[in-house]
Amino acid sequence: MLIELLIVILVLGVLCTAAGVKVVKQYERGVVFRFGRVQELTRGPGLTVIIPVVDRMRKVNLQIVTMPVPAQEGITRDNVTVRVDAVVYFRVEEPVRAIVNVEDYLFAVGQVAQTSLRSIIGKSDLDDLLSNRERLNQGLELMIDSPALGWGVHIDRVEIKDVSLPESMKRSIARQAEAERERRSRVISADGEFQASRRLADAAHVMADTPAALQLRLLETVVEVAAEKNSTLVLPFPVELLQFVDTIKHGATGGAEPSAEPEPEAELAEAERAAGREAELLGAEPSAELPQQRAPEPADDAERSVLGIA
């Protein structure tokens, strides 16, 4: 009977010892409550022993927790409706405060992250959400970290993952980007034309000082065209030759002055021929000759000889 009692006591002792032995992992810390009062000293990693029935231990994970923030829909400061989602990286620095000061620190951090994300959307412009995310991430981290410090939780970083825009806004942004690209291309093209015109003007001045340079450039152009193995070769007419022909033409017509009045001898001969043709048509010979107009006195001997021959 005594032996059986000893065996029962021994079994109960082993069970109580086994119930009081706890194993804490390397990334965990144990918070011990003795009769409901928290012990300031936390239990480190390894094998630890607590008093059964008297003590109760809760383990707290010290690893960095990655918590996705659900997409929040809001209106930006420039009245654009967007949906923004983010991700929060945090870890527990003070296990006692994380267990005592807040009921569920994971849920609390998630709710603070959602409200802070909505607040940062309302305070920002659309351009900031799309292009200046680093500053917004820092502001969002400060907004979440302020209440989390009282819970023994430290926010490592917060990042905005995606910004969803309405389809109409996407088309508007695409048109704006296309117009900006078109403007830049036109400015670059105009700048290139301006620089090319400056170079061509400099080349024209050089060729004006040295006319042989234009002929050399013409020959280079012919060589470039002939290298393409074309069947037809159009050779430009030299501009200098046109200028030379124009100068000769103006020199030949410049000295001669047109006569102001027709010669009277030519008019008289034409009148006689007209009278003869009229007589032939009537079938009779001309009865009298048309009176001849008296020619003006010749100015010199050359005109007098011409009148005598007529």
Q: In what order do the strands lie in the sheet with 65-75?
A: 65-75, 81-92, 153-164
pLDDT tens digits, 123-170: 888 888 888 888 889 889 999 988 888 899 999 999 998 888 888 888
- How many domains does the structure of the chain reveal? 3
Query: What range does the domain containing 35 cover?
Result: 10-61
Residues 185 and 113 in one domain: no
Measure the CA–CA gap between 74 and 86, rounded to whole angstroms: 14
For the chain, give the mean pLDDT.
79
Measure the CA–CA gap between 63 and 43, rounded to whole angstroms: 16
Residues 127 and 151 in one domain: yes
Instruction: Please report whether residue 247 resides in a domain.
Output: no
Instruction: Please report whether residue 204 resides in a domain.
Output: yes
Kindly tell me the sign of the dihedral angle through the C-alpha atoms of 205, 209, 214, 217.
negative
Q: What is the pTM of this model?
A: 0.56
Residues 81 and 154 in one domain: yes
Residues 105 and 180 in one domain: no
Is residue 80 within 8 A of residue 44, CB to CB? The reply is: no
Residues 68 and 153 in one domain: yes
Mean pLDDT, rounded, for 172-179? 88
pLDDT tens digits, 52-79: 888 888 899 999 999 999 998 888 888 8
Residues 153 and 193 in one domain: no
Residues 120 and 138 in one domain: yes
Instruction: Please report whether residue 87 resides in a domain.
Output: yes
Residues 57 and 69 in one domain: no
pLDDT tens digits, 212-263: 777 777 778 777 777 777 667 666 666 666 666 677 777 666 544 444 444 5
Residues 34 and 70 in one domain: no
Instruction: Please report whether residue 275 resides in a domain.
Output: no
